[in-house]
Structure 1
Amino acid sequence: MTEHSSGYRTPARLFHWIVALAVLLMIPAGLTMTREGLDRGLQDVLFIFHKNTGTLLIPVILARIVYRRLHPPPPLPASVPGWQQRLAAASHLALYALLVIMPLSGFVRVRAGGFPIELLDAMGAGPWLPKSEALAGAAQGLHFLAAMLLIALLALHVSAALHHALLRRDGVWQRMWPPTGG
């Protein structure tokens, strides 16, 4: 695999696109599974997908954060104004925070609500939390708020990426584009 000197390393790109794909699948699943009047069979499939994918994402996100701490991102091109660089840094920090809050609040909501997480249950992991409607309700509220913030921040993130790719054409988009052989 080739890497550009101004681009992210291959592991960072892989972490980015694995998490991006999972999150982009989980958002519509999460929004759909909670709709009133949804077919119960479809609702069950979406809940199982959403809970188990969130559970699988926790170690991936934590590994991604550790990797980023050990391998800081390359600097943005000098052509990117300072205010945009500061906004990019703040938005990335917020994205990482939300990527931790989302699966953890979802886990607490499910387990404190007394519901299964099939993947963990199959491994004999146990609930780890006592059943508590108050805790489950608080976690559910946090999960919903974080989801709305994440959707808004992702819209900003994707818009900025497209702005750099289609309008500015300054190489920022290519820095994180999926790695290819070459």
Structure 2
Amino acid sequence: MTGYRTPARLFHWIVALLVLATIPAGQIMIQDGLSRSVQNALFIFHKNVGVVILLVVLARLAYRQVVPPPPLPLSVPEWQRRVAGLTHAALYGLLIFMAVTGYLRVRAGGFPIEALDALGLPTFVPRSEALEAWAKAAHWWGRIALVAVIALHVAAAAWHGLVRRDGVMARIWPPVAR
């Protein structure tokens, strides 16, 4: 069975690790009782890692256009192929949605995104309480959808890697000495 090439694997695992870091940071940063310095550090981390996630996801999508993913093994039923395709599309769509709604929420609220500000990029979004409120709600609901789709993705990976042992998980697993 052929696996993903190294760049695709790197894109996958970089995004996975960054998302797994930003989700709890995003949840913790909005809790009551945090010191202002901890809350500020978490907000800065969450916003700027969100920018990195968006850039890596866009690079991965561009890479997929040039180097398509390897086909699933013939042992994978057609319905699972369809679910896998829909799940991957949902993951990409939700990751982009989260970055865009996060950006809109922050910029419409008049807050900085330090990495973009350091590059001298304009904000592109005027201050707007209505847009900020909409983006905040959309980002919150998007988080729930993203966590659900990630859970489905991880469950399917575990099913293929631990139960079926059909090589599907090995296609994306980091290439390490065995």
TM score, norm. by length of structure 2? 0.95
1:157-176 aligned within 5 A? 157-176=153-172
Instruction: Give runs of ≥4 in structure 1 deviating > 4 Å.
Output: none
Structure 2 CA distance for aligned equivalents of residues 139 and 67 of structure 1: 29
Given the alignment, which residue of 90, 93, 108 partners 2:89?
A: 93
Identify the residue that residue 65 of structure 1 maps to in structure 2. Answer: 61
Alignment-derived partner of residue 23 in structure 2 = 27
Q: Distance in 1 between matches of 2:22 and 2:41?
A: 12
The alpha-carbon deviation at position 126 of structure 1 amounts to 2.9
Structure 1: gaps (5+ residues): none
Distance 2:141 2:116 in 1: 25
**Worse-superposed segment, 78-87 or 36-45:** 36-45
Please state whether the residue corresponding to 1:15 is helix, strand or coil: helix
Which residue does the alignment assign to 2:50?
Answer: 54
User: Whole-Å Cα distance in 1 between the matches of residues 65 and 144 of structure 2?
Assistant: 27
Deviations 1:28-57 (A, max 9, x none): 001111112222221111000000111122
Shift of 1:181: 6.9
> Identity over aligned residues, as a percent?
57
Q: May I ask how many residue pairs the two structures share in their alignment?
A: 178
1:127 is matched by which residue type in structure 2?
T
Provide Cα deviations, 1:83-134, integer angstroms capped at 9, x if missing partner.
1111111110100100111111101110011001111222222322110011
Residue 151 of structure 1 deviates from its aligned partner by 0.3
